[in-house]
Amino acid sequence: MPDIVEIRILPPLAIGRLGSSATPLENYTLEIANPVGYRSLVPAPTLVVDPVTGAIVSSTTPAAVSFRDAKGNIKPVCPFLEVWMLTAGAKTLAPLTLQALEDLGADETAVSWSVEVGNIKAFRRTGDPKDKITASTTAFNDHGSKSLQGKCANFKPGKSLPFGSVRYLKPTADFPQIRLRFTPASGKVYGPKTGDPNIAEDVYDETRGSWSKFRDGDPNAPASRPPSTEPGGIFANVRGVSRGYLDDECDGIVQVQVTLADKTLTAIARITCGPPSFAPDGLPIRSVADELEQVELGPAVSGPVPMAEVGSIVRRALETVRLMNTAALNSPSINNMANQDTGTGRAAEPIFDPSVVDALALRARHESVLLALNSRTMAWFSGVLRRYTEVGDLSNDGRRKMPGMMRGSDGSHLALTRRQASKVDAAALEIAPDPAPSNAGSDLTPTNLTAIFYHAQGNPPVAHPSSAISNAFPGLEMDFRNVWRRVFAGIILHEADNFVVDVEANASPKLRELIGQRLISVNGISVIGVLQGPTRAGGPVVSLPPNENAAANNPMVGKTNLEWSNCLADALRMQAKSVACIFVPEGGGPETKISLKVRPFFEAGTGVIKRELLQPGELTQSLCSPWQNDYRECSCYYWAASRPDYVNVEARADGTSAGHNWLQLNRNPGADKVYIIDDFTDQRLVTYEQLFRNWEHLLKFEIEGSDSE
């Protein structure tokens, strides 16, 4: 066998999903049997691991996919990570197997793993390094399960927070590839107080740490406290004061090392975990996979786009809209996008004409657009798409662009990634036939998209970045915005706003002066967009917020920050090169022009997000703490494919839709289908406390838009 020159772990980013069952979720595929119908969950070969030996004993296709075990506990998603090798002269990867190791004069013990994960949600708020909860393993090459016990300096003595486990699977003759499996935690809530019925264990020491006294916008906060997350206040609290709750999500880095006689090779991958996808037969309209594709290939496509790619965007829009109560989301009389726009000074008005927003009407409209792809033209669709620079256009026309009624990572109305939009533009000119299916395993190259999007054997679709939402405000499986914080060497940006929060160690005085300043352009491309809309119903479109007293040279007047993913997409084409950045002080002032180097996004030659961009725990640090809080209170409704809203929808006698709020408790078949508007004080809806204690058994999986259990 030729000499081995590199190794890789695939997939480069794997998502675990919480659940307390001892049985991992079966594998399945998502099949589209009907152009406008729901995807089907088709059971697929499932790798069964012997709990004693750690060996894969079979690959069995189950009769059905069930998300719960016999006790009703949710089966966690436990992704496999495979090791691949690149041999001398080869351009494609091959599996690293027992045989390959033998050919190299080694065996399975030459492979060792180490894992480092973290949950630093409390630290993100308090800024106290002792609030970081981290777990790591020493290097191991045996096949026992390695528990990831999160330790924290501000925990009570002897306490830890379990993040799940990892296991180096024993390779066998039947399953010879080198693999690791990550099993996430159960999804419990932890906190400081003994006897608190909401928590599994009191781990946090209130006498040491300030997390349980934390409040966003606290006037007495120390100067060292980091700026608030956006959105702020997304932690369990009582009248704004944190309850000190923590969850058992984590994210981090898995490293594999192969030690041969003459060399040692290493590779890394990232893992993260989030709640289950409760509508697993759909995918988010904008996902982490879309982000990674944009980073890898750039914001613009050239030439005709295959129908499947354009169809995917439209289908995901349909799958999202199907689970949203669009009539409720349209009216400014309740807490939703229409209402939240008024915070900018925009007049309170519905987003769309009320005639057209009933769920059944919008579903039919989206289905027909999907069907229209068959005519291979979507010219008009390009015209109604919101561009990333238009997210702050709160005029009637602006808010009615697509996607509608959803929130983007910048807190404004959602825009697709620029690459997604470019595909729609290209489809307006021409749609290409779909390419012939390829054998993905035969053309895996180290850096191309097939490696980034690789589906490891046995991993269900919800372990894949395509199932993770990326219009993060803050997100569910991860807050992808965090990858941009260190995109420019030397400075640290806010993940969700255009200002510098800190500089890296050993930063020059010139860079230190940038702390607190706002970045407004990169290589001449603005990273801020207009914020405008009418201040009275039917009135003219003006800058928002209306502020006649703002400093004339304040570039943020009438402007809003744009999400980094899109506005830095051009800069990402300049990785390892310098770009011209312009900063201005908060509130206005003279510009500072400075050249900064764009960090490479991926580890050299791999699809793994670079270590320098994200330390363990940083991918999830700005998510809700605990994540259950987000399920209860956010009316942003950008995540319907994972956290449904409007379920069991059917036509009323008058032709309009009727259905249930996914969080409402009484959904007996005989009950009148009345959608209870989201209100965290309404006891007819699942409460915070009920979620903390028993989310696993209260939240239902939705298949084809209806309760499946």
The stretch near other proteins (CB under 8 A) out of 87-95, 372-380, 679-687, 698-706 is 372-380
Q: Does 541 bind other proteins (CB under 8 A)?
A: no
Q: Does 357 bind other proteins (CB under 8 A)?
A: yes
Task: Let me know: does 705 contact 648? Beta carbons within 8 Å.
Answer: yes
Q: How far is the CB of 35 from other proteins (least distance, A)?
A: 3
Q: How far is the CB of 353 from other proteins (least distance, A)?
A: 4
| Distance in angstroms (rounded) separating the CA atoms of residues 465 and 271 | 11
Q: Which contiguous run of DSSP H or E holds residue 654?
A: none
Q: How many other C-beta atoms are found inside a 10 Å radius of the C-beta of residue 659?
A: 23
Q: Does 680 bind other proteins (CB under 8 A)?
A: no
The amino acid at residue 692 is F
Q: Does 683 bind other proteins (CB under 8 A)?
A: no
The stretch near other proteins (CB under 8 A) out of 137-145, 282-290, 328-336, 462-470 is 328-336
Whose Cβ is closer to other proteins: residue 125's or residue 399's?
A: 399
Whose Cβ is closer to other proteins: residue 280's or residue 332's?
A: 332
Count of residues that interact with other proteins, criterion CB under 8 A:
52
Q: How far is the CB of 370 from other proteins (least distance, A)?
A: 7
Q: Does 655 bind other proteins (CB under 8 A)?
A: yes
Q: How far is the CB of 405 from other proteins (least distance, A)?
A: 14
The stretch near other proteins (CB under 8 A) out of 188-196, 235-243, 362-370, 460-468 is 362-370
Whose Cβ is closer to other proteins: residue 174's or residue 434's?
A: 434
**Residue that is written with structure tokens 């630290």 in the block:** 123
Candidate residues 651, 666, 671, 684; the one interacting with other proteins per rule CB under 8 A: 651
Q: Does 353 bind other proteins (CB under 8 A)?
A: yes
Q: Does 364 bind other proteins (CB under 8 A)?
A: yes
Whose Cβ is closer to other proteins: residue 375's or residue 439's?
A: 375
Q: How far is the CB of 37 from other proteins (least distance, A)?
A: 5
Candidate residues 98, 152, 203, 360; the one interacting with other proteins per rule CB under 8 A: 360
Q: How far is the CB of 343 from other proteins (least distance, A)?
A: 19
Under rule CB under 8 A, which residues in 430-489 are in contact with other proteins?
Answer: 430
Whose Cβ is closer to other proteins: residue 146's or residue 363's?
A: 363
Q: Does 586 bind other proteins (CB under 8 A)?
A: no
Whose Cβ is closer to other proteins: residue 352's or residue 695's?
A: 352
Q: How far is the CB of 361 from other proteins (least distance, A)?
A: 4
Candidate residues 18, 236, 337, 370; the one interacting with other proteins per rule CB under 8 A: 370
Look at strands 246-247 and 241-242 and give their pairing: unpaired
Task: Let me know: does 328 contact 635? Beta carbons within 8 Å.
Answer: no
Under rule CB under 8 A, which residues in 116-145 are in contact with other proteins?
Answer: none
Residues in Cβ contact with 540 at an 8 Å cutoff, skipping those fewer than 6 apart: 534
Residues in Cβ contact with 68 at an 8 Å cutoff, skipping those fewer than 6 apart: 21, 74, 75, 701, 709
Q: How far is the CB of 378 from other proteins (least distance, A)?
A: 10
Strand order in the sheet with 189-191: 201-202, 189-191, 246-247
Whose Cβ is closer to other proteins: residue 353's or residue 586's?
A: 353
Q: How many other C-beta atoms are found inside a 10 Å radius of the C-beta of residue 382?
A: 16
What 8-state DSSP symbol labels residue 215? B
Q: Does 367 bind other proteins (CB under 8 A)?
A: yes
Whose Cβ is closer to other proteins: residue 185's or residue 369's?
A: 369
Under rule CB under 8 A, which residues in 250-309 are in contact with other proteins?
Answer: 304
Look at strands 189-191 and 246-247 and give their pairing: antiparallel
Structure tokens at 510: 């010139």
Candidate residues 352, 488, 638, 688; the one interacting with other proteins per rule CB under 8 A: 352
**Residue that is written with structure tokens 């209130």 in the block:** 206
Q: What count of residues does the chain have?
A: 709
Q: Of 661, 663, 660, 659, nearest to 632 (Cα)?
A: 663
Residue 323 backbone dihedrals phi, psi, to 5 degrees = -105, 10
Q: Does 327 bind other proteins (CB under 8 A)?
A: yes
Candidate residues 55, 57, 153, 361; the one interacting with other proteins per rule CB under 8 A: 361
The amino acid at residue 6 is E
Q: How far is the CB of 144 from other proteins (least distance, A)?
A: 50
SS3 category, 169: strand
Q: Which contiguous run of DSSP H or E holds residue 661?
A: strand 657-661
Q: How far is the CB of 662 from other proteins (least distance, A)?
A: 17
Q: Of 616, 613, 603, 289, nearest to 482 (Cα)?
A: 613
Candidate residues 151, 213, 365, 611; the one interacting with other proteins per rule CB under 8 A: 365
The stretch near other proteins (CB under 8 A) out of 257-265, 611-619, 647-655, 699-707 is 647-655
Q: How far is the CB of 372 from other proteins (least distance, A)?
A: 4
- Full DSSP string of 588-640: ----EEEEEEBPPSBSTTSSSBPTTT--TTTTTTTS-BSHHHHHHH------T
Q: How far is the CB of 643 from other proteins (least distance, A)?
A: 21
Candidate residues 259, 331, 340, 448; the one interacting with other proteins per rule CB under 8 A: 331
Residues in Cβ contact with 78 at an 8 Å cutoff, skipping those fewer than 6 apart: 16, 24, 25, 181, 182, 183, 184
> Rounded to 5, what percent of the chain is helix, strand, coil?
20, 25, 50
Going through 52-178 in order, the beta strands assigned E by DSSP cover 56-60, 80-87, 94-95, 111-119, 133-136, 145-150, 161-169
| Distance in angstroms (rounded) separating the CA atoms of residues 630 and 206 | 24
| Distance in angstroms (rounded) separating the CA atoms of residues 474 and 618 | 13
Whose Cβ is closer to other proteins: residue 580's or residue 674's?
A: 674
Task: Let me know: does 83 contact 8? Beta carbons within 8 Å.
Answer: yes
Under rule CB under 8 A, which residues in 373-432 are in contact with other proteins?
Answer: 374-377, 379-380, 383-384, 396-397, 400-401, 429-430
Task: Let me know: does 419 contact 294? Beta carbons within 8 Å.
Answer: yes
Q: Does 218 bind other proteins (CB under 8 A)?
A: no
Whose Cβ is closer to other proteins: residue 10's or residue 428's?
A: 428
Q: How far is the CB of 377 from other proteins (least distance, A)?
A: 7
**Cross-strand partners of 657:** 651
Candidate residues 216, 349, 497, 678; the one interacting with other proteins per rule CB under 8 A: 349
Whose Cβ is closer to other proteins: residue 357's or residue 613's?
A: 357
Helix axes 288-297, 418-429, angle to 10 degrees: 80
Q: How many other C-beta atoms are found inside a 10 Å radius of the C-beta of residue 472?
A: 29
| Distance in angstroms (rounded) separating the CA atoms of residues 266 and 447 | 16
Task: Let me know: does 269 contact 9? Beta carbons within 8 Å.
Answer: yes
Candidate residues 290, 291, 358, 563; the one interacting with other proteins per rule CB under 8 A: 358
Whose Cβ is closer to other proteins: residue 349's or residue 563's?
A: 349
Give me the half-sphere count of Cα atoms (radius 13 Å) on the Cβ side of residue 82.
Answer: 25
Residue 106 backbone dihedrals phi, psi, to 5 degrees = -135, 180
Q: Does 674 bind other proteins (CB under 8 A)?
A: no
Q: Which string of x and - marks every residue 22-41 that binds other proteins (by CB under 8 A)?
A: ------------xxxx----
| Distance in angstroms (rounded) separating the CA atoms of residues 133 and 126 | 13
Q: How far is the CB of 402 from other proteins (least distance, A)?
A: 9
Q: How far is the CB of 327 from other proteins (least distance, A)?
A: 5
Candidate residues 55, 241, 372, 541; the one interacting with other proteins per rule CB under 8 A: 372
Q: Which residues bind other proteins (CB under 8 A)?
A: 34-37, 304, 327-328, 331-333, 349-350, 352-358, 360-362, 364-365, 367-372, 374-377, 379-380, 383-384, 396-397, 400-401, 429-430, 650-656, 677
